A = this chain, B = another copy of it.
Amino acid sequence: MRKLLKNGWILTMDESDHEYRHGDIVIEDNKISYVGPAKDHENIDDIIDASECLIIPGMVNTHCHVPMMPFRSLGDDCPDRLRRFLFPLENACMDKKLAYVAARYGMAEMLLSGITTFADMYYFLDELAKAAEEMGIRALLGESVIDQPSCDARNDEEGLALGEAFIAKWQHHELVRPILALHATNTNKAQTFQKAMKIVEKYDTLLMSHVAEMDYEMTYFAKTYGKTPIGWLNDIGCLNERLLAVHCIHLNDEDISLMAENHVKVAHCPSSNLKAGKGIAPVRDMINKGLDVGFGTDGASSGNTLELFSLMRMFAGAQKTKYHDRSLFPAQKIVKIATMGGAKALNMDKEIGSLEKGKKADIVMVSLEGVHMFPQHDPYSLLVYSANAADVKHVFVNGKQVVNDRRLAISLTKLRQDLAANMEDFDKKAAELSKTIK
């Protein structure tokens, strides 16, 4: 099966950022077999007109909790909502069924906005994997292990066991790549980190964890160990190229150097961090030291929308403002982080992240027809400062078209109905909690 995307404005995001103002892409099975100037092609089964589109690599979301859809727009501006809303509601209401229908809904949102790969930390992973298979999205899924009762494990030991079993089961899947996740440096013990690291070494995969996110986390580590969380991770032998450290808001220069020396990967979540008023991660300095940084939406409870367009714009504003420098992170570099940056952070840059011959056909076509997408002096500026998720027109994952003219194969109404039907208990308890807090 050979599909031709004809005459689009291609931003390859390859090593040299090659661009084709009038270019073609040929998809052969699940891979890209041609990227270059528009020309004649033979043996094409299907042609898609790309003349009013930017064509970019599928975007990469390096951090999410996709089943947290039920939490969107709940208690957004409430202090310490993690302990006041999130943990109690999760433990009371999150089950296999809700995780499954919510994950499908969240995956729909990602696909519709051009995210073709995401990395997730949550519970009920078999449900998530099944959902990813059905929706046709590339998913790195890690069981969330925490040192307290969670919705699918009584303690961290059980969580680790679940996590390892999941990895063993799904390790050779085409779309699902199993990883492992620890909730956070301040909610897990040193031994749990060490055991988890052994597991990810054994299966050659990643360990995702929230790190250096909370004020009270920083205080705790300073008081207890006289260290930063990064320093502590280094001491316990868990700072290495398998660690995907999420948030990393509160880093000092020594932390950044340590992370760079040890090739730690970073998932940066500006939309989530800004809404929480937690601070702006020093991404300029991380990248200057050579760290691989990708963008993460975080869950819909924290980042609200599972898309990278508004995130890229917020990222630009936050970094330029933090360092008082308009020229910092020009738009092209930001699109790079959203694509190749994410692929590198997930150790997948050999397969995805750019439009190159031989890579997996994860491709997004962004319409230039919207009122806000003109004039077109700079396509990267349009993507970062103008575009929104509704501009995404066609999306391919692993060679298969999953979004066609802004629609999924499955009806969005159906996905929403399924989610709503499983949220009755959640809504009741959420309303009760909201009252006690106001």
Cβ contacts under 8 Å, A77 to chain B: 326-331, 381
Residue in B closest to A317 when the chains form the complex, CB atoms: B274
Assembly CA distance A19 to B378 (angstroms): 43
Q: How many copies does the complex hold?
A: 2
Residue in B closest to A431 when the chains form the complex, CB atoms: B377
Q: Give A169 Cβ to nearest chain B Cβ, in Å.
A: 30
Determine whether A428 belongs to the interface, using a CB cutoff of 8 Å to chain B.
no
Residue in B closest to A408 when the chains form the complex, CB atoms: B371
Identify which of B112, B279, B314, B385 contacts A313 (C-beta below 8 A): B314
Cβ contacts under 8 Å, A78 to chain B: 326-327
Identify which of B79, B304, B320 contacts A275 (C-beta below 8 A): B320
**A271, A326, A391, A423 interface centre (most CB from chain B within 10 Å):** A326
Identify which of B275, B325, B371 contacts A316 (C-beta below 8 A): B275
Assembly CA distance A375 to B300 (angstroms): 10
Whether A276 contacts B73 by the Cβ 8 Å rule is: no
Size category, A interface: 35 or more
Residue in B closest to A304 when the chains form the complex, CB atoms: B385
Q: Can you list, as one digit per residue, whether each of A277-290 has a CB less than 8 Å from chain B (1) or not (0)?
A: 11110000000000
Q: Can you list, as one digit per residue, whether each of A362-404 has a CB less than 8 Å from chain B (1) or not (0)?
A: 0000000011101111110110011011110000000000000
Cβ contacts under 8 Å, A330 to chain B: 76-77
Whether A271 contacts B423 by the Cβ 8 Å rule is: no
Whether B378 contacts A76 by the Cβ 8 Å rule is: yes
Whether A325 contacts B277 by the Cβ 8 Å rule is: yes
Determine whether A187 belongs to the interface, using a CB cutoff of 8 Å to chain B.
no
**A112, A327, A427, A430 interface centre (most CB from chain B within 10 Å):** A327
Determine whether A72 belongs to the interface, using a CB cutoff of 8 Å to chain B.
yes
Determine whether A109 belongs to the interface, using a CB cutoff of 8 Å to chain B.
yes
Assembly CA distance A214 to B266 (angstroms): 34
Assembly CA distance A378 to B79 (angstroms): 16
Determine whether A310 belongs to the interface, using a CB cutoff of 8 Å to chain B.
yes
Within 8 A of B (CB), among A100-151: 105, 108-109, 112
Assembly CA distance A24 to B341 (angstroms): 49
Q: Give A284 Cβ to nearest chain B Cβ, in Å.
A: 11
Identify which of B72, B276, B412 contacts A320 (C-beta below 8 A): B276
Identify which of B108, B276, B370, B385 contacts A76 (C-beta below 8 A): B385
Whether B73 contacts A371 by the Cβ 8 Å rule is: no
Whether A271 contacts B317 by the Cβ 8 Å rule is: yes
Assembly CA distance A78 to B378 (angstroms): 13
- 11 more contacts with CB within 8 A, not counting A77-B381, A388-B388, are A69-B374, A73-B381, A74-B381, A77-B328, A274-B317, A275-B320, A305-B372, A306-B372, A375-B420, A377-B434, A388-B390
Query: Which 9 pairs, one residue from A and one from B, show the smallest C-beta to C-beta distance?
Result: A274-B317, A277-B320, A390-B390, A77-B330, A73-B381, A304-B385, A388-B388, A74-B377, A277-B326
A-B contacts, 22 of them at CB < 8 A, read A73-B375, A73-B376, A73-B379, A73-B386, A74-B375, A76-B330, A76-B331, A77-B330, A78-B326, A108-B371, A109-B371, A270-B317, A274-B317, A275-B326, A278-B321, A278-B324, A304-B381, A304-B385, A305-B372, A310-B388, A317-B318, A390-B391
